[in-house]
Amino acid sequence: MNRTKKYIYNISFSAALHLASILSGFIIPRTILQSYGSEMNGIISSVNQFISYFSIVEAGLGGAAMYALYKPLANKDYPAMNGIVSAAKKLYNQTGYIFASMVLGLALLFPHFTENNSLLSYEMGLLVVVLGLKGVLEFFTLAKYRVLLDADQKTYVIAIATIVHLFTYTMIVAILAHYHTNIIVLKAVSLCSVYLRSLILMIYVKRKYPSVNYNAQPDRQSMDKRWDVLYIQLLNTVLGATPGVVIAVVIRDFKLASVYSVFYLVVAGVSGILTSFKTGLSAAFGDLIARNAEKTIKKAYTSFEYLYYALLTVACSTMLITIMPFIRIYTRGIVDTNYDIPLLGVLFTINCLQINIMTPQRMLINSAGIYREMRGQTTTEAVLAIISETVLGYFYGVSGIVTGYIIAETYRAIYLLSYIPRNITKTRVKDSVIRQAMVYMAVALNGLLLHHIPYVPTNYLTWFAYALVVACVTGIITGIMWFLFDKNTAKEIYHTFLKKRWKTSKLAEVE
């Protein structure tokens, strides 16, 4: 299968996965809110946030293994491949034990540092253990297969397995929550879906990679970039974890944690849709970098950045206009805390924009393996995030936390905007600056033009139709702006991809 076909498969199944993730991500918290209340939803959200910090023990493994596999996969060097995947497997097993120990530690400490009216201390500890088991299982049963498939640009296989997992998980939670099953029992039973996903990947890898041996002599030297990746991912984990820590420890209000998690569902959903369009590209660019294809890298990156920023503009413009109608529908009937906060809708949209506007540059960090070079920037960003989110969160609550996050992400965007074009893609910094400026202006313009549409959706179906119309209108506006401001790139994309594909299809018809 060639690189283009893999990309089409990857974005198609990744889009399907993100659609499934969005649906699952909306259904499950809503189900928990209805059956167990805002406090329980906040507890689960906070515990999951803390557990996500522990994933740092894996940091560096996946990135280092993928980077090490690019060249052997390109050269079909199976002995080298076997040494790398064997080393990755052993290290994943070791870190799995460390992760499990950290979960047990959290289970002992968390009940004593938090206050709630829903669970006794021992129940809180048990819930932490059960929620942490999902991560433990992924270390021992899933990670070793995921690394190989990601590096070989077969993310679509992981996507298919994960869709099956999400469907099973959502059905289990929805059914058991309907009968108000004990929350600890519910989360324990839902772990069956993790085993199912791992089983699917194990069968696929054994059939498609018969020459790959996970028990070969491990090549530990191939993981020499692990500690650089570890440092970067450690700081990235701090960035993602800071909001949850500030709410749970500084503000100490699980209802605010629920408010944050509900709004962040929209950010995660939009980010997931955008991520589907770059699925597998990190490995594809890694392959090009391994082959020293500088001209191809420059051309491919310019086209991707142009198209991705157009999609980002449409996505964030639509989010800006439709987020509050969605939040009102989603939290209808939930009266134990206030979710109708339009300011948060604007701030979370800006947050989503800042997170995703760096995707083209951040993708190439993994492709080129420039982890050591990013250490100083990521350290500064993490310190900035901790200080700004803690101070602003203390005084302004969730709004302050999101504002602090935006400040830190803005610093990262400026740094990467300068570094990546000069050192990897060899493109002009000016071009990327103009495109990013266009994104901000277009989102603001779309928001001003469409914000006062005299229509209020009353259910999910009418909201979806409303969002679809808004997306189409913002898409037309954005498309016109993008063509007018960068005609050359638009024409090049047309001639390179669309016209070429049309000619290919006509030739196939003649044959």
CA distance 311 to 319: 12
The angle that helices 254-276 and 342-356 make with each other, rounded to 10 degrees, is 40
Q: Sketch the domain layout of the chain as residue ranges.
A: 1-224, 227-501
User: Which residue is associated with the tokens 């299809």?
Assistant: 505
| CB of 483 closer than 8 Å to CB of 490 | yes
CA distance 281 to 278: 5
CA distance 229 to 365: 10
The candidate with the shortest Cα–Cα distance to 198, out of 149, 161, 155, 172, is: 161
pLDDT values of the chain reduced to their tens digit, one per residue, 511 residues: 566 677 778 878 888 887 888 888 888 888 888 888 888 888 888 888 788 777 767 766 777 787 788 778 877 888 888 888 888 888 888 888 888 998 999 888 888 776 667 777 888 888 889 998 888 888 888 888 888 888 888 888 999 999 999 999 999 999 999 888 888 899 999 989 988 998 999 999 989 888 888 888 888 777 766 667 777 777 777 777 677 677 767 777 778 888 888 898 899 888 888 887 776 676 677 777 767 677 877 788 888 888 889 999 999 999 999 999 999 998 888 888 888 999 999 999 999 999 899 888 888 877 777 777 777 887 888 888 889 888 888 888 888 988 998 998 888 888 888 888 877 777 788 888 888 899 999 999 999 888 877 788 989 899 999 999 999 999 999 989 888 887 777 777 776 655 554 443 433 333 3
Q: Is 117 helix (H, G, I), strand (E, B) or coil?
A: coil
State the DSSP code for 424: I
State the DSSP code for 459: S
Range list of H helices, 37-60? 38-54
The candidate with the shortest Cα–Cα distance to 327, out of 405, 406, 272, 265, is: 265
Could you tell me which residues come within 8 angstroms of residue 402 by beta carbon, excluding any fewer than 6 positions away? 243, 344, 347, 348, 351
Identity of residue 177? A
CA distance 497 to 483: 16
Identity of residue 126? L
| CB of 325 closer than 8 Å to CB of 457 | yes
CA distance 269 to 225: 31
The candidate with the shortest Cα–Cα distance to 91, out of 117, 113, 63, is: 63
**What is residue 4's predicted lDDT score, i.e. its pLDDT?**
64
Could you tell me which residues come within 8 angstroms of residue 170 by beta carbon, excluding any fewer than 6 positions away? 23, 24, 27, 28
CA angle 25, 31, 37 (to 5 degrees): 115
CA angle 215, 219, 225 (to 5 degrees): 130
**What is residue 508's predicted lDDT score, i.e. its pLDDT?**
37
Phi-psi region of 213 (alpha: psi -120 to 50; beta: other; left: phi over 0): beta
At 165, which helix (H) or strand (E)?
helix 155-178
**What is residue 101's predicted lDDT score, i.e. its pLDDT?**
92
**What is residue 109's predicted lDDT score, i.e. its pLDDT?**
86
396: tokens are 């302004």
**What is residue 504's predicted lDDT score, i.e. its pLDDT?**
39
**What is residue 146's predicted lDDT score, i.e. its pLDDT?**
86
Q: How many residues are present in the chain?
A: 511
**What is residue 346's predicted lDDT score, i.e. its pLDDT?**
94
**What is residue 496's predicted lDDT score, i.e. its pLDDT?**
64
CA distance 364 to 345: 30
CA distance 430 to 438: 12
CA distance 92 to 143: 7
